[in-house]
Amino acid sequence: MWDYSETVKEHFFNPKNARGMDDANAIGDVGSIQCGDALRLTLKVDPESEVIQDAAFQTFGCGSAIASSSVLTEIIKGKTLDEALLVTNQDIADQLDGLPPEKMHCSVMGREALQAAVANYRGEEWSDDHEEGALICKCFAVDAVMIEETVRANNLRTVEDVTNYTKAGGGCSACHEGIEEILTRVLAETGEAFNARASRRKLDEAKEPKQVPGKGMSNLERIRRIERVIEAVRPQLQRDRGDVTLVDVDGDTVFINLVGACSGCQMASLTISGIQQQMMEDLGEFVRVVPVPAKAGVAA
Is 145:131 a contact under the CB 8 Å cutoff? yes
Signed CA dihedral, 108, 68, 76, 17: sign only? positive
Residue 231 half-sphere exposure toward CB, CA atoms < 13 A: 6
**175 included as an active-site residue:** no
Cα-based torsion angle of the residue sequence 241, 67, 141, 32 in order, rounded to the nearest 10 degrees: 10
CA distance 285 to 225: 12
**Whole-number Cα distances in Å, 282 to 65, 209, 277:** 19, 19, 9
- Pick from 28, 30, 56, 26: nearest CA to 122: 26
Is 81:89 a contact under the CB 8 Å cutoff? no
Given 106, 137, 175, 262, the catalytic residue: 106
CA 71 remoteness from chain centre: 13
CA distance 51 to 10: 27
**106 included as an active-site residue:** yes
Enumerate the active-site residues: 35, 106
